[in-house]
Structure 1
Amino acid sequence: MTIRKTLRTRKLTQRARQLSAGTMMTLCLGAGAALVPLTVQAQSFESTQRQPLDSVVAVVNDGVIMRSELNERIAEIEQQAAAQGGQLPPRSQLARQVLERMVMDEIQLQMASRANLSVDDTELNRQLRSIAESNGMSLDQFADAVEADGMSLASVREEVRREMLMRQVQQRQISQRVSVSDREVERFLEQQPSQQGQSFIEETRARHVLVELTPTRGEAQARSRAEQARQRLQQGEDFATVARELSDDRGSGMNGGDLGWVRPGQTVPAFEEAMNSLGPNQLSEPVRSQFGYHVIEVLERRRQDVTEESRREQVRQAIFQRRANEELEVWRREIREQAFVDIRL
Structure 2
Amino acid sequence: MTKSFPVLLASLLAVSSVSAPLQVLAQEAQPLDRIAAVVDEDVILQSELQRAIANIKAQYAGREAQLPPDDVLSRQVLERLVLVKLQVARAQGSGIRVSDQELTQAMNAIAQQNGSTLDALRQRLAHDGIDFNDFRASVRDEITVQRLRQSFAQSRISVSEGEVDAALKQQADAGNQFHLAHILVALPDGATAEQIATGQKKAEGVKTLLDKGELDFNAAAVRYSDSPNALEGGDLGWRTLDEIPAAFAQTMQQMKAGEVVGPIRGPSGFQLLKLVEVRDASAAAGTHTVTEYHGRHILVRVDDAQSDAAAKAKIDTLRARVVGGADFQQVAKESSEDTNSKGQGGDLGWFPADAFGPAFGQQVAGIQDGGVSQPFRTDAGWHIVQRVGTRQTDVGSDNQRAQVRETIGRRKLEDEYNRFLQELRGEAFVSFRSGDRAENTATPPQS
- Provide the TM-score with structure 2 as the length reference: 0.41
**The one of 290, 305, 308 aligned to 1:199:** 290
Q: Distance in 2 between matches of 1:62 and 1:132?
A: 33
| 2:76 corresponds to | 97
Which has a greater percent of helix?
Answer: 1
Q: Note the 1:254-293 alignment, pairs <5 A.
A: none
Render the CA deviation track for 1:164-188: whole Å, top value 9, x for unaligned. Answer: 0111112112332222111222234
For the 8 Å contact 1:198–1:306, the answer to whether it is kept is yes
| Equivalent position to 2:15, from 1, 17, 41 | 41
Higher relative contact order (CA 8 A, sep 6+): 1
Partners of 2:13 and 2:81 within 8 A in 1: no
Matched letter for residue 77 of structure 2: V
Question: Do the aligned residues in 2 keep the contact of 1:108 with 1:166 (CA within 8 Å)?
Answer: yes
Counterpart Cα distance in 1 of 2:139 and 2:390: 36
**The one of 49, 52, 58 aligned to 1:80:** 58
Question: Is 1:337 aligned to 2:426, yes or no?
Answer: yes
What is the CA–CA distance in structure 1 between the aligned matches of 2:78 and 2:132, rounded to whole Å? 24
| Residue equivalent to 1:214 | none
Q: 1:50 maps to what in 2?
A: 32
Q: Find 1:117's aligned residue among 66, 91, 96.
A: 96
* AA partner of residue 20 (structure 1): P
Among candidates 16, 20, 25, match of residue 6 of structure 2: 20
Q: Please give the alpha-carbon distance, in whole angstroms, between the structure 1 residues aligned to 2:350 and 2:431.
A: 47
Q: Once the 2 structures are TM-superposed, how far is the Cα of residue 89 of structure 1 from its aligned partner?
A: 3.0
% of aligned pairs identical?
Answer: 29
Q: Which has the larger radius of gyration?
A: 2
| Distance in 2 separating the partners of 1:109 and 1:80 | 25
Cα RMSD of the aligned pairs, angstroms, is 4.6
1:277, distance to aligned residue in structure 2 (A): 5.3
| Counterpart AA for 2:162 | R
Rounded to whole Å, the distance in 2 between the matches of 1:196 and 1:90 is 48
- Partner AA of 1:92 in structure 2: D
Instruction: Give, as a single letter, the amino acid of the residue that structure 1 aligns with 2:143.
Output: M
Looking at structure 2, the residues matched to 107 and 57 of structure 1 have their Cα atoms a distance apart, in angstroms, of 15
1:234 corresponds in structure 2 to none
TM-score (norm 1): 0.51
Measured after TM superposition, the shift of residue 162 of structure 1 is 1.1
CA distance, structure 1, for counterparts of residue 158 and residue 78 of structure 2 = 33
Note closer, same or farther for the CA distance 1:316–1:92 as it changes in structure 2 (3 Å cut): same
How many aligned residue pairs are there? 231
* CA shift in 2, pair 1:336/1:316, >3 Å: same
Post-superposition shift, 1:327? 2.8
Aligned pair 1:314/2:296, yes or no?
Answer: no
C-alpha distance in 1 between matches for 2:419 and 2:154: 13
